[in-house]
Amino acid sequence: MIGLKLIRKTRNLNQQKVALDLNISRESLSYYENGKREPSLQLLVDMSKYFNVSIDFLITGKEFNKNKPNIINILNFSITFYDFADFSFKKQQKKDAVFDIFFY
């Protein structure tokens, strides 16, 4: 769990302190941080509350951003736009034009 170790170190907390606060052994915390074991769902929730970060962050080290546009949504929107626009391009030419915008 990349984020667990990251957030603990960022906040200058040692494993013993965090383990005591979460009512687990220091060894267990070490195993979770190093990917040797996986915590229960309840423990993930408790860790999330303890550090005030998302479970996504604990696992990946990154916050999940559902509002962040991804390339698939952008391409789908662009292709739809080109489909409604009055261009004399064929469908594949429209897709190629959209692809060129984003990748060249």
pLDDT in tens, 61-91: 877 666 655 555 555 555 554 444 555 556 6
pTM of this structure: 0.60
DSSP 8-state class, residue 24: S
For residue range 10-53, what is the model confidence (pLDDT) as tens digits?
Answer: 999 999 999 999 999 999 999 999 999 999 999 999 999 999 99
Domain ranges of the chain: 2-60, 71-103
CATH of 2-60, one of 3.40.50.720, 3.30.1330.10, 3.20.20.105, 1.10.260.40: 1.10.260.40
Within a 10 A sphere around the Cβ of 104, how many other Cβ atoms? Answer: 5
Q: How far is CA 74 from CA 4, 45, 94, in A?
A: 32, 33, 14
- Give the integer Cα–Cα distance in Å for 75 and 58: 31
Q: How far is CA 86 from CA 90, 97, 100, in A?
A: 11, 14, 19
